[in-house]
Amino acid sequence: MAAVPLLAFSFCILYVLQKFLEYWRATRSIHNHAGYRTLFAQSSVISNFLSPVAGIAPGSNYLFLDKHRMFKYFGCDIHSAVSAWPKPTTTLLLADAAAIKEVCSSRSRFPKPIHHYTLLLFFGRNIVASEGEEWKNYRKISAPAFSDRNNRLVWEETVKIMDSLFKDVWGSQKVITTDHCVEVTLPIALFVIGAAGFGREISWKDDDVLPTGHKLTFKNALHIVTTDIFLKLIVPDRALGLTKRLSNVKLAFEELERYMSEMIKERQHSKQEVRHDLFSNLLDANDEDSGDAKLLVSELIGNIFIFLVAGHETTAHTLCFTFAMLALYPDEQEILYQHIQSVLSSGKGPTYENMPLFTQSMAVFYETLRMFPPVTGIPKESAEDTSLATTDAQGNQVVVPIPKGADITIHVPGLHYNPRYWSKPDSFIPSRFLGDWPRDAFLPFSAGARACLGRKFFETEGIAILTMLMSQYKIEVKEEPQFASETFAQRKARILACRAGLTLTPIRVPLVFQRREQKPF
């Protein structure tokens, strides 16, 4: 009997020795380049539930929390992260604009690791979770969908939605209070993606009449899917049903897929008026293609779903951070208001043709994206043994070896807070985007061939919402008795607290919208 514990102990020793040897080889493969050395990999489930502990795990949301701090600590804008478990992993983290540009433009050397995105395949194969020829085909058909006609529709529908919010929901109220700003921004983004994405206008006063054969309205299915998608990603299918909320998530995904299938069949088998919503544009582009390049119904649904998720949550969260910053910095809010008023001096509402004139709105939006990038880490991998060059804190050139198979993370907050490119990077200074600014050091939409196709859609919607709201309402932080004695620094930290999610997610932003004394458009 004594032999069994001895055998188990020997097995554990051999396992630890094997891991140590693999870990040593991983460290040696990058010439022990400066960086993290941890037990658990950041990609491990355990790490995502741990607070940052030196030598154990970097912790959840560490990319945003670190910003450029660890690059400064290691004295180089490329640092490493080597972990031992579940398997030895070598990662190079980049905050050097030139190195990032090289990685993004060299797709054969640094392809996208699509195995990180398999969870996004539940509706069908799509442009995010693909590479090579498959990705080229998806991009060829998807790119024309994001047309100028669609951008015009985005602007027009957004203006209508905001106008309806002011008149039909907020009405004559002079002060509107919200415990969390996403309660305002999420439905706005939902309605815009419904109209400009699917060609289905959703009213603030929707009566929720169920169509025949459905258990949820399109609006409710879309709302549940976009707000609870994270549950779908992390909860196994067999467990979707254990609680009422999980059952609703399962039902919403089923219903949304049914709606999209019906819309495809309807538009493929009937003559309708010309539409410029994203869904119709994608179907038209697919119909115009020929041969093997045409997308299957599951691929059409998979791709439109990706555009839906990307467009909805990203817009809602970015606007929430934008309104928070303007509430915290009333001087910047006044500058923005006065500029909007100067553009709209004729008394007419903002039009799509006006959009290039709202330079201050764009500056505020971009500064928010710099400080709160929706995606904090962009993954790549090395397809070969190669290297990247950077400079250290003393200005000396450093060549960093990149072994084949190594993970590469474009550290977006590290880049956006890098003092080499941005003066006073921790300060909210929208005016930095009004003159010349370092475009290669601004990466909220990724870069290169894999850059976000929906960038113009996102910017058009965001600028329209920001401009409309700021022209008629002043934003302030909600005063709460329990925080009466806090300092500005404490208030700022509380209001801007965020967590990792599909995109960077504000935790709680309590705001007050106070109607300005002026005539509406």
Amino acid at 373: P
Sorted by sequence, the CB contacts under 8 Å of residue 188 that are 6+ apart come out as 158, 161, 162, 165, 316, 319, 465
Position 264 scores a pLDDT of 83
- 455-482 mean pLDDT: 96
- On whether the CB atoms of residues 506 and 497 are closer than 8 A, the answer is yes
Position 281 scores a pLDDT of 87
- 500-508 mean pLDDT: 90
CA separation for the pair 468, 447 (Å, rounded): 29
CA separation for the pair 313, 311 (Å, rounded): 6
Question: 399 forms bridges with which residues in the sheet?
Answer: 389
Is pLDDT at 310 greater than 80 in this prediction?
no
Position 356 scores a pLDDT of 95
- 16-34 mean pLDDT: 85
Is pLDDT at 521 greater than 90 in this prediction?
no
* Confidence band of 331 (pLDDT split at 50, 70, 90): very high
CA separation for the pair 487, 491 (Å, rounded): 6
CA separation for the pair 294, 506 (Å, rounded): 39
- 378-394 mean pLDDT: 94
Q: In this predicted model, which residue has the larger pLDDT, 124 or 19?
A: 124
pLDDT single digits (tens) 276-304: 888 888 888 887 765 557 888 888 888 88
Position 418 scores a pLDDT of 98
- 342-367 mean pLDDT: 92
Give the pair of three-digit tokens for residue 432: 């930095």
Amino acid at 495: I
Position 154 scores a pLDDT of 94
In this prediction, what percent of the chain has a pLDDT beyond 90?
55
- On whether the CB atoms of residues 380 and 113 are closer than 8 A, the answer is yes
- 362-377 mean pLDDT: 97
Looking at residue 345, the DSSP 8-state letter turns out to be T
Position 17 scores a pLDDT of 80
- On whether the CB atoms of residues 344 and 326 are closer than 8 A, the answer is no
Closest CA to 194 of 212, 213, 221: 221
Is pLDDT at 520 greater than 60 in this prediction?
no
- 385-408 mean pLDDT: 94
- Establish whether 320 is an annotated binding residue: no
Whole-angstrom Cα Rg for the chain: 25
Is pLDDT at 375 greater than 90 in this prediction?
yes
* Confidence band of 2 (pLDDT split at 50, 70, 90): low
Give the pair of three-digit tokens for residue 345: 């001096």
Is pLDDT at 220 greater than 80 in this prediction?
yes
Mean pLDDT: which of 163-167, 190-194, 502-506 is highest?
A: 163-167
Q: Which segments within 117-231 are labelled E, that is strand?
A: 175-178
* Confidence band of 354 (pLDDT split at 50, 70, 90): very high
pLDDT single digits (tens) 117-175: 877 787 888 998 898 889 999 998 888 889 999 999 999 999 999 999 999 999 999 99
Report which secondary-structure segment, H or E, holds 81.
strand 78-85
Least confident of 167-181, 216-230, 325-339, 348-362: 216-230
Position 203 scores a pLDDT of 78
- HSE at residue 314, side-chain half, CA atoms within 13 A, is 23
CA separation for the pair 445, 146 (Å, rounded): 15
- 251-275 mean pLDDT: 80
- 22-28 mean pLDDT: 85
Q: In this predicted model, which residue has the larger pLDDT, 350 or 518?
A: 350
CA angle 153, 157, 159 (to 5 degrees): 120
Report which secondary-structure segment, H or E, holds 419.
none
Count of C-beta atoms within a 10 Å radius of residue 27: 17
**Per-domain residue ranges of the chain:** 3-124+378-416, 136-311+325-347+445-515
Task: Name the one residue in this structure whose structure tokens are 């006609």.
Answer: 149
Position 50 scores a pLDDT of 65
SS3 content of the chain, % helix, strand, coil (to 5): 55, 10, 35
Position 288 scores a pLDDT of 74
- 251-271 mean pLDDT: 83
Is pLDDT at 53 greater than 80 in this prediction?
no
- HSE at residue 74, side-chain half, CA atoms within 13 A, is 24
Say which CATH architecture domain 136-311+325-347+445-515 belongs to.
Orthogonal Bundle (1.10)
Position 437 scores a pLDDT of 97
Q: What is the 3-state secondary structure (H, E, C) of 204-253?
A: CCCCCCCCCCCCCCHHHHHHHHHHHHHHHHHCCHHHCCCCHHHHHHHHHH
86: preceding bond cis by omega (within 30 degrees): yes
Alpha-carbon distances, residue 341 vs 185, 329, 350, 393, 403 (angstroms): 23, 19, 10, 45, 55
Is pLDDT at 309 greater than 80 in this prediction?
no
Ramachandran area for residue 502 (φ above 0: left; ψ -120 to 50: alpha; else beta): alpha
Position 295 scores a pLDDT of 86
Position 300 scores a pLDDT of 87
φ/ψ of 259, rounded to 5, equals -60, -45
Alpha-carbon distances, residue 296 vs 87, 138, 161, 257, 292 (angstroms): 37, 11, 33, 14, 10
pLDDT single digits (tens) 54-86: 778 787 788 999 999 999 999 999 999 998 887
CA separation for the pair 447, 162 (Å, rounded): 31
Give the pair of three-digit tokens for residue 46: 């355990």
Position 289 scores a pLDDT of 60
Count of C-beta atoms within a 10 Å radius of residue 282: 22
Count of C-beta atoms within a 10 Å radius of residue 243: 12
